[in-house]
Amino acid sequence: MTSATQTSLSEYLAEQVTVVDGALDRCVPPESTQPSSIHRAMRYSLFAGGKRIRPILAITAAKAVSERTEGVANAAAALELVHTYSLIHDDLPALDNDDFRRGRPTCHKVFGDALAILAGDALLTLAFEVLSTLDVDAETRIQLVKELSQAAGTVGGMIGGQVQDIEGERQPPTAGLLDAIHRAKTGALLRASVRFGALYSAATESELAALTKYGEHLGLAFQIIDDVLDVEQSSDTLGKTAGKDQQQQKITFPAVYGLEKSRQMAMLERESAHEALEILGTRADRLRQIADFVVLRQA
Amino acid sequence: MTSATQTSLSEYLAEQVTVVDGALDRCVPPESTQPSSIHRAMRYSLFAGGKRIRPILAITAAKAVSERTEGVANAAAALELVHTYSLIHDDLPALDNDDFRRGRPTCHKVFGDALAILAGDALLTLAFEVLSTLDVDAETRIQLVKELSQAAGTVGGMIGGQVQDIEGERQPPTAGLLDAIHRAKTGALLRASVRFGALYSAATESELAALTKYGEHLGLAFQIIDDVLDVEQSSDTLGKTAGKDQQQQKITFPAVYGLEKSRQMAMLERESAHEALEILGTRADRLRQIADFVVLRQA
């Protein structure tokens, strides 16, 4: 394990992006596999320069509790498959109708709506196949399947949050609704990402509880900053259409609390994330750095 | 176990539909669970009078190899969740653009495209959650996750077949392409359904091999008859738009072989399905009756 002081966070993140991309490349069929169009569409969206925050959280959480982290990148890849499927479907004309993502035309703009729907379905399906074939005991694999399916589901999970988000467009922006939406829409998968690493590395109950708490605070900080950046930054910097939230009358942190209060809230979530890690000592230094990075990022 | 001679097939099927519907009702959140709109949409499509062929195949295959079949209906329910998700997405305007299914307006006609896309995603996700929480050992649960994810995936699985089917609309209808499409699009999930029962009941290697073969022949017979009925029957009888295949220039068995030859082929597949079951003796009588039913059905 590389000590947090030996390499900078940006070097560490760059290293881990390479590791995650390698795992993703191995688990998605090559473009030459028939029917090639669907594998092209899946790979187009998957290798579009994502920050790989979710898999990196999983890998880093695994490292915080165990030296045995071989193969965790394959488990972590499943998180990115699910995240990418959700982006493809969210961008569809029937949903957010976005033409750009990460600075490139969205999946449906390149491959058409039909193939984009199917590519999303395929990434979601593949995530569970990947988990089912991991090189760890069956009990751990099935725990990960349960964790991912619940985090991505309708009750407190990603799809549930997405539905509330769409329906929220016609409702007054209240703090309670905002909290519910974001805990589910982005929070659940970020929380699951941290828990993935802990479960994979057979964390103790108290380690799992600490990491879960960290994941919850980090997830909220992440979403607050995402909302803030949507207001403050240009489309060029974000690589996607900026100001979209306001235009769609989405319920966001700046809409409910204003920009300054939102930034303060993100800082408080960062502090809580740090506090949650106390029992892990210096083993969790990278996770602390990631919490800082999430709050201080500019895109 | 009820002997195949004690009750008629239609009585048996009706009984099993009740069992499957009960399992589905227990695994899908009630409409009162927030966000209720997505659960309404999921339930609308799920409880639309489907024949439950896939779960019934799983249950019946389990009964053919073991007396211990308690809880198999819950595993079988996952198959119906995946089948229903695929119908919802296939019916979308971007794909087959169907307004009616099982005699009722399709999901997107009632709930809109956005919610229909998310309801499909949610059913697929839920299928894996259901498998992860089955009351059997972790090894069996993870085998089922692998089986289902591969059967529903892009390489020889349902999504792969769907892609080939869409792309086939612009290609000359050849026997090879037809075979590849149907083995993947409908064959893979029907094959997996039979294997589900075998895996759940811890079938021996030779029992699993026999049931797999049966599932493959049955799947092909099922698809041939589906294509034939699309030509021969009215929309009223089918509960969906008839003649749609020809209109969309789909590659079908009647298009490649003509109606009479197609029916003959289905009868041959039925015979092969029967032959595959030989080692199971009378324990497989219900599976034989189901093969007959699939070929002789009128809708």
Instruction: Please check whether residue B271 touches A, CB under 8 A.
Output: no
* Bridge partner list, A100: A105
By C-alpha distance, the chain B residue nearest A152 is B125
Helix intervals (H) in A233-258:
235-238, 244-247, 253-257
Using DSSP bridges, classify how beta strands B104-105 and B100-101 pair: parallel, antiparallel or unpaired: antiparallel
Q: Cβ contacts (< 8 Å) between B146 and chain A: which residues?
A: 129, 132-133
pLDDT < 70 regions, chain A = 1-5, 235-238, 240, 242
Structure-block tokens of residue B37: 């709109």
Which pLDDT does position A2 carry in this prediction? 45
- Among the listed residues B106, B93, B161, B159, the one whose alpha carbon sits nearest the alpha carbon of residue A120: B159
H helical segments located in B134-282: 138-151, 158-168, 175-182, 188-200, 205-232, 235-238, 244-247, 253-257, 259-276
State whether A145 and B142 contact (CB < 8 Å). Answer: yes
> B35 and A138 in contact by Cβ < 8 A?
no
Model confidence, pTM? 0.95
Q: Do A92 and B117 touch (CB under 8 A)?
A: yes
| Mean per-residue pLDDT, B52-72 | 93
Determine whether the interchain pair A154/B39 forms a contact, defined as Cβ–Cβ distance below 8 Å: yes
Q: Does B177 touch chain A (CB under 8 A)?
A: no
| Chain B partners within 8 Å of A154 (Cβ) | 29, 33, 35, 38-39, 42, 122, 125-126
Task: Choose the closest CB to B154 out of A38, A145, A159.
Answer: A38
B164 has a chain A CB within 8 A of its CB? yes
**A104: three-class secondary structure by DSSP:** strand
Summarize pLDDT for B232-249 with one digit per residue, the tens.
887 666 676 767 777 777
A175 touches chain B (CB under 8 A): no
Q: What pLDDT was estimated at residue B166?
A: 87
Report DSSP letters for A178-190, one per residue: HHHHHIIIIIHHH
Give the model's pLDDT for residue B5.
55
Which of B29, B114, B157 lies at the smallest CB-CB distance from A154? B29
Q: Is B153 on the interface with A (CB under 8 A)?
A: yes
pLDDT at res. A70: 86
Cβ of B171 under 8 Å from any chain A Cβ?
Answer: no
Query: Is A215 at the interface with chain B, CB within 8 A?
Result: no
Residue B291 amino acid letter = A
Q: Is the dihedral of CA A167, A172, A177, A182 positive or negative?
A: positive
Q: Where are the domains of chain A?
A: 9-296
Tell me the pLDDT tens digit for each residue of B242-281: 677 777 778 899 999 999 999 999 999 999 999 999 999 9
Residue B36 contacts A where some CB pair is shorter than 8 Å:
no
Q: Quick one: B212 exposed, middle or buried, by C-beta within 10 A (0-12, 13-18, 19+)?
A: middle
Which amino acid does the sequence have at A91? D
Do B226 and B248 meet the contact criterion of CB atoms below 8 Å apart?
no
Cβ of residue B30 closer than 8 Å to a chain A Cβ: no
pLDDT of residue B2: 45
CA closest to A181 among chain B residues = B35
Q: Which residues does chain B have within 8 Å of residue A133's beta carbon, measured at their own beta carbons?
A: 146
Distance (Å, rounded) from C-alpha A213 to C-alpha B170? 53
**B184: nearest CA in chain A?**
A35
Cβ contact (<8 Å) for A37 and B115? no
Work out the angle at residue B292's Cα, subtended by the Cα atoms of residues B290 and B293, and round it to the nearest 5 degrees: 60
Amino acid at B207: E
Chain B neighbors of A95, CB-CB under 8 A: 114, 117
Task: Give the position of tokens 């499943």.
Answer: A78
CATH of domain B9-296: 1.10.600.10
Question: How far apart, in whole angstroms, are the C-alpha atoms of residue A162 and residue A91?
Answer: 12
How far apart are the C-alpha atoms of A116 and A122, rounded to whole Å? 10
Find out whether B152 and B158 touch, Cβ atoms under 8 Å. Answer: yes
C-beta separation of B159 from B153 below 8 A:
yes
Supply the pLDDT for residue A129. 98
Report which of residues B214 and A49 the model is more confident about: B214
Query: What is the end-to-end Cα distance of chain A in Å, rounded?
Result: 29
Name the packing angle between helices A113-132 and B138-151 (round to 10°): 160
Q: What confidence tens digit (pLDDT) does each residue in B118-131 have? A: 999 999 999 999 99
- pLDDT tens-digit readout, B157-176: 999 999 999 888 778 888 99
Q: Which residues of A touch B124 (CB under 8 A)?
A: 121, 124-125
| Cβ atoms of residues A74 and A187 within 8 Å | no
The CA–CA distances, whole Å, from A275 to A30, A163, A282, A285 equal: 43, 32, 13, 12
Range with lowest mean pLDDT among A12-16, A231-235, B79-83, B283-287: A231-235
Tell me what pLDDT residue B4 has. Answer: 52
Q: How many CB atoms lie within 10 A of CB B172?
A: 8
What is the Cα–Cα distance from A87 to A235, expressed in whole angstroms?
Answer: 17
Q: Amino acid identity, residue B29?
A: P
